[in-house]
Structure formats: structure tokens, C-alpha cells
């Protein structure tokens, strides 16, 4: 029987979000209905609301979530009712060329639930990143569910569904930070701080946090940064060079998504260093660099999409590390809120007051 539950809808471009009754169909083949327990508020949700992603309003927002599988459709073997799962927005196919070549994070045939969730009047909803988890229940593809240890708090587990995984993965998977490396992280919001945590986990010797806001630098230090640079008052490139015996960092992670900060990352790296772009630029942004500077430096320029993660490998591993006290994912949860507070959470996010507001159900 289709079910009626509450969900947070973005009705139209820049209109305030609101809680509405939505209809969740029974899971079809390959699908699962998940009772959401927690869902973090991410920038991408705000971008959906602002019309920055596409115009397929109304959106059902929320995509950084954990919950319990309630029911599954025909042919589902990945998960069963009662499983505690983290949702991911890149369920890979396992068959395409990227998947077969062992790089599933580049899969070009990712999938979501085929059926649609709707408003009470039958209007089809577009779930944010194919998830839509600011809701008591949501419909996803079974491949979007990764089973993890149910002993962990849902608010913490959900964070791995997007921003925290993106940041940790940028350091560990994409940047391949190694023991003894020097690492600089430019932009220390939730994603940058997670990159700091990842760099520390990977054994980096120096972790230099760069931001324009002293409050963010303080948090980055608490997360494991060994040095901090306020790039409003200090030249970031010079500062990183000075802290690395004049060489530049082995890995520089850009977690802002702007041309200026990308250029800083480019010049703050060691000649053989790696730049990882995890901040998401907007379509109008252009980067201009002297080609001779590109030629004159070795190393590599990489981008990291969702932390180049493999949910089935990385989610349970990071939950284990958290449960063992080797990383503290709880430090990313600034506040827990209700479904009706998402609009307020967007405002706080905009002011830079929170790492993560997490809707708890
Ligand atoms: N130089 C350094 N830091 C900057 C600059 C700058 N010019 N401009 C902004 N910042 C800092 C902010 O002070 C803030 O601490 O970058 C950080 C951005 O953090 P958040 O706004 O909390 O964003 P976050 O969730 O971490 O995401 C960062 O990654 O996934 C993407 O879409 C996301 O592009 C965004 C980026
Ligand atoms: Zn694939
Ligand atoms: Zn997100």
C-alpha cells in the first residue's frame, strides 16, 4: 500500500521550503523504502532550492541520510527489511567500462529508484540527488543502500552519505595522502574539515588549514590541523611554502570551489605534488593559468567527485574507525533539528555558523 508521510519540499525557485504530505509507492523491482532516521543539510540542497541544479521543481530535498530499510521490492538482494543503512547518491552499475576497469567511482550508469514519489495531488517529485531524505520515509534503489553497524548514531552515519565522505575521500582516495606527507586544505567548512580528518587518518605529518574565517580555522585545528593560515591577512601560497621548507605541500585540497582558491592550490603544491579539487565550481567560473606554469610543474591535478568513494567499502570502514574512536565524526554535527527547521538551517549555513545541521526523525 502506498504510504503518506511528511517531507520537505522546495516548491519553486527561491521559494521557502515547506513540509508537505507526500506519497511513497511500494518498492518496485530493485527498489527499497527506507524509514529515514537522520539527514544532514548540505549546500547542494540549498542549490536545488535556488534553482542552481535544474528546474525540475518541486524537489524533495535531503540526500545525506541514514535509516532503516522498511521494505524491499522484487529481486533485491543487497539489503533486507530491518537493515540499518547509509544512503548514497551514486549507485554504480558494476557493468560499464569504468566499473569493469576497477574504477566504479567513475561509473557512467548510476541509478536511482524508477518509480516516483508524489505530492498528495499526484504531482511527481524530483528527489535531491535521487534520494529525497528530508522525509519520514523515502524510496531509493537498493544499490543506494549500504548496510552498516546499527550501534552508531544515525546523525553521524548519515553524514557519510555526502559531505564528510567527499572530504575524507578527497584526502584518502583521490589525493592518496601518505604517511609523512605535508597537506594543505584550502577552505575549512564541513568538506575541508573532513579532508583534514582524512589527511590525519592517512598519517600526514603536517596539515595546514587555510581559510578566511578564524572561527573555521579554530575548528580545523580541533579536527587535526597542525597549522592554520588566515588567507585574508596572509598570502596563502607563501605561508604554505614557508611551512613546508620552501617546497609547497605534497597534497593540496581545494574545498571552496572558486578560481582564486584553485590558483592558490595550484601554486601552493610541491613541484611533484597533487592538487585535489573537491569544492564544486559554478558553470560560469573560468580558470586562467600561464601554460608555462603548468608545464613547469610536475605532479598532478585531480578532481574528486564524492570523494572517489566506493560506499560498500568506505562507509562500513569509516563507521568502524569512528566506533573505535580513531576518527570523531560526531564533531561534524553542530545541531540536530526537525523537518520544519530546514529553512532556518539554510540561513545558518549561509552565515557560516554550522558545520552540519542534521534533521533527526
Ligand atoms: N579562501 C579560503 N577559504 C574560503 C574562501 C577563500 N577565498 N572563501 C570561502 N572560504 C571558506 C569559508 O570560510 C568556509 O569555511 O570555505 C569554507 C566553505 O565551507 P562551507 O561553506 O561550509 O562549504 P562545505 O560544505 O565545506 O563545502 C565546500 O565543497 O562539496 C563542495 O558544494 C560544496 O563547493 C562547496 C565546497
Ligand atoms: Zn558502472
Ligand atoms: Zn551533499
Using CB distances shorter than 6 Å, the residues near ligand 1 are 43, 163, 166, 186-192, 210-213, 216, 231, 255-257, 260-261, 278-280, 352
> Which ligand 1 atom is the nearest neighbour of the CA of 162?
30
Specify the pLDDT at position 344.
97
pLDDT exceeds cutoff 90 at 176: yes
Give, in order, the Cα–Cα distances in Å from 92 to each of 45, 138, 209, 280, 349.
Answer: 22, 19, 33, 21, 30
Note the ligand closest to the C-alpha atom of 159: 3
How far is C-alpha 93 from the chain's CA centre? Answer: 20
Note the ligand closest to the C-alpha atom of 98: 2
Q: Is 133 exposed, middle or buried (0-12, 13-18, 19+ CB in 10 A)?
A: buried
Rounded Cα–Cα distance for residues 228 and 220 (Å): 8
**Structure pTM?**
0.96
> What's the pLDDT tens digit per position in 221-273?
999 999 999 999 999 999 999 999 999 999 999 999 999 999 999 999 999 99
Q: How confident is the model at residue 178 (pLDDT cuts 50, 70, 90)?
A: very high
**Percentage of residues in the chain with pLDDT exceeding 90?**
98
**Of 21, 12, 14, residue with least CA distance to 56:** 12
User: What's the gap in Å between 92 CA and the centre of ligand 2?
Assistant: 5
CB atoms within 10 A of CB 160: 35
* Contact predicate 129/44, CB 8 Å: yes
User: What's the gap in Å between 98 CA and the centre of ligand 2?
Assistant: 6
Q: Which three cell numbers, joined as nine digits, stand for 103?
A: 574504477
Sheet bearing 59-60, strands edge to edge: 118-119, 18-24, 3-10, 59-60, 126-127
Specify the pLDDT at position 352.
87
Q: How confident is the model at residue 85 (pLDDT cuts 50, 70, 90)?
A: very high
> What's the pLDDT tens digit per position in 44-54?
999 999 999 99
Give the residue, by CA position, lying nearest to ligand 1 atom 15.
189
**Of 194, 180, 137, residue with least CA distance to 329:** 194
* Contact predicate 6/19, CB 8 Å: yes
* Contact predicate 28/115, CB 8 Å: yes
Query: Sign of torsion, CA 157 159 160 161?
Result: positive
CB atoms within 10 A of CB 116: 15
Which of 128, 253, 256 is the best mutation target for the ligand 1 pocket, counting ligand atoms within 8 Å of the beta carbon and taking the most?
256
Cell 553524514, located at residue: 159
Q: Which three cell numbers, joined as nine digits, stand for 330?
A: 560526531
Can you tell me the mean pLDDT for 10-34? 98
Helix, coil or strand: residue 345: helix
* Contact predicate 338/202, CB 8 Å: no
Which of 46, 189, 257 is the best mutation target for the ligand 1 pocket, counting ligand atoms within 8 Å of the beta carbon and taking the most?
189
Axis crossing angle, helix 214-223 with helix 190-201, rounded to the nearest 10: 30
> What are the structural domains of the chain?
3-161+328-360 (3.90.180.10), 167-304 (3.40.50.720)
Q: Is 271 exposed, middle or buried (0-12, 13-18, 19+ CB in 10 A)?
A: exposed
> What's the pLDDT tens digit per position in 269-322?
999 999 999 999 988 999 999 999 999 988 999 999 999 999 999 999 999 999
Give the DSSP letter string of 97-124.
HHHHTT-GGG-S--B--SS--EETT-PB
CB atoms within 10 A of CB 121: 6
**Percentage of residues in the chain with pLDDT exceeding 70?**
100
Axis crossing angle, helix 236-243 with helix 259-268, rounded to the nearest 10: 30
User: What's the gap in Å between 94 CA and the centre of ligand 2?
Assistant: 5
Helix, coil or strand: residue 59: strand
pLDDT exceeds cutoff 90 at 353: no
The partner residues of 253 in beta bridges, in order of sequence, read 185, 276
Amino acid at each position: 500500500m502506498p504510504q503518506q508521510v511528511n517531507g520537505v519540499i522546495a516548491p519553486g525557485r527561491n521559494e521557502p521550503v515547506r513540509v508537505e504530505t507526500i506519497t511513497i509507492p511500494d518498492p518496485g523491482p530493485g527498489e527499497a523504502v527506507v524509514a529515514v532516521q537522520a539527514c544532514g543539510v548540505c549546500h547542494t540542497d540549498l542549490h536545488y532550492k535556488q534553482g542552481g541544479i535544474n528546474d525540475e521543481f518541486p524537489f524533495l530535498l535531503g540526500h545525506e541520510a541514514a535509516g532503516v530499510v522498511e521494505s524491499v521490492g522484487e529481486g533485491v538482494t543487497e539489503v533486507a527489511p530491518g537493515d540499518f543503512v547509509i544512503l548514497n547518491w551514486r549507485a554504480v552499475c558494476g557493468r560499464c567500462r569504468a566499473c569493469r576497469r576497477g574504477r566504479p567511482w567513475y561509473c557512467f550508469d548510476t541509478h536511482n529508484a524508477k518509480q516516483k514519489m508524489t505530492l498528495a495531488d499526484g504531482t511527481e517529485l524530483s528527489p535531491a540527488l535521487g534520494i529525497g531524505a528530508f522525509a519520514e520515509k523515502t524510496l531509493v534503489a537498493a544499490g543506494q543502500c549500504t548496510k552498516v553497524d546499527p550501534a552508531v548514531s544515525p546523525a553521524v552515519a548519515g553524514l557519510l552519505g555526502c559531505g564528510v565522505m567527499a572530504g575524507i575521500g578527497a584526502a584518502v582516495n583521490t589525493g592518496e595522502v601518505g604517511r609523512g606527507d605535508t597537506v594543505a586544505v584550502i577552505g575549512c567548512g564541513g568538506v575541508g574539515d573532513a579532508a583534514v580528518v582524512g589527511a590525519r587518518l592517512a598519517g600526514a605529518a603536517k596539515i595546514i588549514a587555510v581559510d578566511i574565517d578564524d572561527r573555521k580555522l579554530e575548528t580545523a585545528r580541533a579536527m587535526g590541523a597542525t597549522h592554520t593560515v588566515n588567507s585574508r591577512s596572509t598570502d596563502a601560497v607563501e605561508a604554505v611554502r614557508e611551512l613546508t621548507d620552501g617546497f609547497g605541500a605534497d597534497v593540496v585540497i581545494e574545498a571552496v570551489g572558486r578560481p582564486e582558491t584553485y590558483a592558490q592550490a595550484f601554486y601552493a603544491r610541491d613541484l611533484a605534488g597533487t592538487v585535489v579539487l573537491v569544492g564544486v565550481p559554478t558553470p560560469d567560473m573560468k580558470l586562467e593559468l600561464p601554460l608555462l606554469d603548468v608545464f613547469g610543474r610536475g605532479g598532478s591535478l585531480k578532481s574528486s567527485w564524492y570523494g572517489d568513494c566506493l560506499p560498500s567499502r568506505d562507509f562500513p570502514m569509516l563507521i568502524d574507525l569512528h566506533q573505535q574512536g580513531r576518527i570523531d565524526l560526531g564533531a561534524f554535527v553542530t545541531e540536530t533539528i526537525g523537518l520544519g527547521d530546514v529553512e532556518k538551517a539554510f540561513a545558518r549555513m549561509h552565515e557560516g555558523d554550522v558545520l552540519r545541521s542534521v534533521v533527526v526523525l
